[in-house]
Amino acid sequence: MSSYFIIVQSFGIIRFDIRIWCRMIEAEGITTQIESALATAAYKSSVDVTKLSLNTFLIAYQGQLAKLGIPEAEWEKYLDTAEAMYDRLRGDRPGGVVGQLEAPLVIGGSNFVAPAVLTGTLWSPTTRVSDA
């Protein structure tokens, strides 16, 4: 089985990939104690905002945008604000975040956080290779 899901964590959009394998043990002798083996793997990665359409960004980021408290009647202001955030995260405006990482992110290992426990952000210093 393999699956993935995407969530907004702080100001970043992240993806969790999950893989699960199961194998029935057929060897004689060991089957008296073990009938099957199960392995799991999970990976946390950053979503490349430059590959998202504005519509997809709005769907993913709607929780963050709702916190701004812009009334529904002011939909133009809402869309302008959303588009400004979208452009900034894509690196299309001054101060954008694209290409500003100091080092690659650590995936897995001791810094891995399970999907049910969403603490910190992708940009916290503890997730940088240079600190590992």
Position 92 scores a pLDDT of 72
Q: For residues 27 and 99, is the Cβ–Cβ distance under 8 A?
A: no
Mean pLDDT, the chain, whole residue set: 74
What letter represents residue 5's amino acid?
F
What letter represents residue 32's amino acid?
T
Over the stretch 5-50, which tens digit does the pLDDT of each residue have? 888 888 888 999 999 999 888 877 766 778 888 999 999 999 888 8
Break the chain into its structural domains and give their ranges: 1-47+106-132, 49-100
Residue with tokens 């916290």: 124
Q: How confident is the model at residue 4 (pLDDT cuts 50, 70, 90)?
A: confident
The count of other CB atoms within 10 Å of the CB of residue 4 is 12
Q: Edge-to-edge, what's the strand order for the sheet holding 12-24?
A: 2-9, 12-24, 36-46
Say yes or no to pLDDT of 80 above 90.
yes
Would you give the end-to-end CA distance of the chain in angstroms?
31
